[in-house]
Amino acid sequence: MKFSKRVQSLPPYLFVQISKKIAARKARGEEVISFGIGDPDLSTPPHIIAELVRAAHDPANHRYPESEGLPEYRKAVADWYKKRFDIKLDSEKEVVSLIGAKEGIAHIALCLIDPGDVALVPDPGYPVYSIGTMLAGGETYYLPMNEKNKFLPELDSIPASILQRSKVLWLNYPNNPTGATAELDYFNYAVDFAKKHDLIICHDGPYTEVAFDGYKPVSFMQAKGAMDVAIEFHSLSKSYNMTGWRIGMAVGNPDVIDALRRIKSNMDSGIPQAIQHMAIKALNGPQDSVAEHNRIYQARRDKVVKTLREMGIQTNIPKASLYIWAHCPQGYKSAEFAEDILEQVGVVVTPGNGYGPTGEGFFRISLTINDQMLDKGLAKFAQWKSKKV
Ligand SMILES: Cc1ncc(COP(=O)(O)O)c(C=O)c1O
């Protein structure tokens, strides 16, 4: 069999390797507590599930959906953006449905990137930005994010030779994996930069609803002139614990949305309509569950930060997202620490280098683990002993 070069150069998906290690340990009968993947443990709110049941009985929802999404779904997205961010969107031209944000993030590269083109990608960052680029034949140029630059890439330090070949700038706030947030002044600066260098901005914002201490993240589309150069990916996954239902959206510049719609219409046949009805209910219905889930995540965040700090592990306190980004204990690289803590105490963390070269020396803890397991996991975590000192 001969496979494409594209498939041959595909690295294994980050969590596949971790899952294998967990499986091996479990096969030996040993307990594993995972702070790995960011998949909410809390269930989809009951009023949203009730809408699925209702919609499933309606034969109108048994047929092929449109790949761009039901007009009612796109309208619900536009209404939600207006309500939440005071942004006016034309639901016909400026909104497209996605089978989860991940699908759109991977496919947009086919709209923007030709072989040899460059995508500017935050480092550390969600791996699909660079994988999508690679699948489209493009190259990734990493934009380091660290404590020194407050996790806001310094766009002015990108070399001119790279900028000449760059087509797209990826940004993601609230950020996975660092938990960093950005405000409108940075987004305004990014829009000006994109206009100057003829870049399209793809902002990935699935965590805008997961925030703590009363903080309300902004949407990139609130930046001045964002509609001229940018689209934003969003999703029901994290806001409403709907990762399993696979529904999201891209909104913004109508030409970019149209290109994505055209690519998608040749590749997928949309989201099952009953699931689109769930999403309409989620977006239009009561939002109390969002606040309730944030209270739960915030309490978990505080417990994790306390344990890490008591162990002398350096970390900041995120205002949003589902993640704690922490320095590995002294002398440890990311993979070495992740393996050692799994070996010693059966706890899974995600090695930071899986998110890009600047992630080396860090690890990520996800808050999507039920409270009982979180307490147990943290107690085990605290028993870990460094072999370096
Ligand atoms: C930054 C980021 N973007 C996109 C996604 C994908 O979300 P969805 O479930 O909507 O595909 C994730 C999922 O973890 C994520 O962390």
pLDDT digits (tens, 9 = 90+) for 226-251: 999 999 999 999 999 999 999 999 99
The hierarchical CATH code for the domain 46-284 is 3.40.640.10
User: How confident is the model at residue 14, as a pLDDT?
Assistant: 63
The model's pTM is 0.96
Distance 379 CA to ligand 1 centre (A): 29
Question: Which residue, judged by its Cα, is nearest atom 16 of ligand 1?
Answer: 176
CA of residue 278 to ligand 1 center, whole Å: 19
Lowest average pLDDT, out of 3-12, 74-83, 162-171, 336-345, goes to 3-12
More confident call, 26 vs 175: 175
- Euclidean distance between the first and final Cα of the chain, in Å? 50
Residues 6+ apart with CB under 8 A from 307: 378, 381, 382
pLDDT at 23: 86
- Separation of alpha carbons 321 and 299, rounded Å: 13
Name the pLDDT band for 11 (thresholds 50, 70, 90). confident
Residues whose CB is less than 8 angstroms from the CB of residue 300 and which lie 6 or more positions away in sequence, other chains included: 367, 369, 371, 374
Q: Write down the pLDDT at residue 15.
A: 64
Residue range(s) occupied by CATH 3.90.1150.10 in the chain: 5-43+288-382
On the question of pLDDT at 37 being above 90, the answer is: no
Calpha distance 311→329 (Å, rounded): 9
pLDDT at 9: 84
pLDDT band, residue 13 (cuts 50/70/90): low
Beta strands in 187-276 (DSSP E): 200-204, 230-235, 248-252
Does the beta carbon of 206 lie inside 6 Å of ligand 1? yes
The class of domain 5-43+288-382 in CATH terms is alpha beta
What's the pLDDT score for residue 17? 67
Task: Give nearest CA residue, ligand 1 atom 2.
Answer: 126
Q: What are the start and end residues of each CATH 3.40.640.10 domain in the chain?
A: 46-284
Given a contact cutoff of 8 angstroms between Cβ atoms, the answer to whether 127 and 140 are in contact is no
Given a cut of 80, whether residue 389 has pLDDT beyond it is no
Burial 122-136 (b: 16+ CB within 10 A, else e): bbbbbbbbbbbbbbb
pLDDT tens by residue, 144-175: 999 999 999 999 999 999 999 999 999 999 99
Bridge partners for 201 per DSSP? 169, 230
Which ligand 1 atom sits nearest the alpha carbon of residue 247? 10
C-beta of residue 342 within 8 angstroms of C-beta of residue 21: yes
**Ligand 1 centre from 245 Cα, in Å?**
13
| Alpha carbon of 37 to ligand 1 centroid (Å) | 11
Evaluate: CB of 276 within 6 angstroms of ligand 1.
Answer: no
238 CB within 6 A, ligand 1? no
